[in-house]
Amino acid sequence: MHDNDGTEAVNGRGKIVLHRVTKYFGTEKSEKAVVEDCSFIIEPGKLNVIIGPSGCGKSTLLNLMAGFDEADAGTITFDGVRIQGPSSDRLVVFQENALFDWMSAYENIVFGPHARGSRSGTMKTRAHSILERVGLSAFQDKYPSQLSGGMQRRVELARAVINDPAVMLLDEPFRGLDAMTKGLMQEYFLQLYAENPRTVVFVTTDIDEAILLADRLILLSNGPASLRKCINIDLPKPRTAALLYEEDRANDIKREALAMLYEEALKSFRKQKRSDDDFLSAYSGRTRRDTGA
């Protein structure tokens, strides 16, 4: 056995196991399962991407893993211990902006370590190195309102990375950014990840983003959410956006995943059919009246 320099132990942390998890929402009369009998494993030290159509229950699952919410049935464990609440081991980067708008970029980034009483010298050095890493050195004294959308997301990433959590949970962190900024953010994220490998759970609805980033792709079925398929993405690294055009294997994965995602999205359209029919008949009724037909 070779010597372990510590990275192995760090990389090996953060295994999350979901076992037959069910979650209901609604009042007693109209309770509906949003997640049902859902089991999968978040592999430690890997970039795990969860993908599924909008509204299928991805954020619900992420909240359960973060410990913000509790499952109604089944168990979720973190390195073998049942998750019973939030922990600084598992930090979340949300899709909406969660920066403190009265603090500068730098203050936002050091807020967590500062609150935990980290030595300020070490923290300062680390914050500056992370700011540089995400290309924001020149903007460290700016307030969130003075930063572009892409810059704000980079501050959020830096804020999570400096806390060095065993697991980073990201809920569609690049949603709503324009295509150029999104592409750049994905590159930043891959670089950050290569330099600070850890367990990542990254939620997205974007198949290109998923294939570009993922070591493992966890594809969800729709309403209620459960595991549809887990695909290992064994594409070469470092990855660039061109990968999706150049690698046949990337295209094969995309085709397979898209076929399943379409099927899942169709399920929810079919479920809505009744209300569509109501809408159509109401609409045609009105049209008949309006035209005197």
Q: CB 59 → Mg ion: shortest distance, Å?
A: 3
Shortest approach of ligand ADP to residue 264 CB, angstroms? Answer: 11
My answer on whether omega of the bond before 224 falls inside 30° of 0, hence cis, is yes
In the list ligand ADP, Mg ion, none, the entry touching 214 (Cβ below 5 to 8 angstroms by class) is none
From 11, 22, 59, 181, residue interacting with Mg ion (rule: CB under 5 A) = 59
In sequence order, what are the beta bridge partners of 87? 90
Which of 165, 224 has the CB closer to ligand ADP?
224
The DSSP line for 165-231 is -SEEEEESTTTTS-HHHHHHHHHHHHHHHHHS--EEEEEES-HHHHHHH-SEEEEEPSSSB-EEEEE
CB of 42 to Mg ion, least distance (A): 17
Choose among Mg ion, ligand ADP, none what residue 54 binds, the Cβ cut-off being 5 to 8 Å by kind.
ligand ADP
- Least distance CB 67 / Mg ion (angstroms): 17
* Per-residue tokens: 266: 């169709």
d(C-alpha 194, C-alpha 197), whole Å? 6
Q: Which of 70, 73, 57 is nearest to 226 (CA)?
A: 57
Binding site for ligand ADP (CB under 6 A): 25-26, 34, 52, 54-60
19 and 76 Cβ atoms separated by less than 8 Å: yes
Nearer to ligand ADP, 37 or 79 (CB): 37
CB of 62 to ligand ADP, least distance (A): 8
Instruction: Single out the segment in contact with Mg ion by CB under 5 A; choices: 1-9, 31-39, 52-60, 223-231.
Output: 52-60
- In contact, 134 and 156? CB cutoff 8 Å: no
Q: Indicate the residue among 58 and 90 with the shorter CB distance to Mg ion.
A: 58
Choose the contact partner of 197 out of Mg ion, ligand ADP, none; CB within 5 to 8 A by kind.
none
Q: How far is the CB of 98 from Mg ion (least distance, A)?
A: 14
Residue 243 backbone phi and psi in degrees, to 5 = -50, -40
Joined together, the tokens standing for residue 149 give 């959308």
Q: Which two tokens stand for residue 111?
A: 């807020």
In the complex with Mg ion, the residue whose CB is nearer, 48 or 108, is: 48
Q: Give which of 39, 47, 46, 44 is closest to 64, Cα–Cα.
A: 39
Q: Which of 58, 228 has the CB closer to Mg ion?
A: 58
User: By Cβ distance, which residue is nearest to Mg ion?
Assistant: 59
Q: Is 63 in the site for Mg ion (CB under 5 A)?
A: no
Report in angstroms how near the CB of residue 30 gets to ligand ADP at its nearest. 10
Select 58 or 133, whichever has its Cβ closest to ligand ADP: 58
Pick 90 or 133: Cβ nearer ligand ADP:
90
Q: 185 vs 83, 163, 174, 271, CA distance in Å?
A: 30, 20, 7, 35
Three-state SS for 33?
Answer: strand
Residue 231 touches which of ligand ADP, Mg ion, none (Cβ within 5-8 Å per kind): none
Q: What residue ranges bind Mg ion (CB under 5 A)?
A: 59
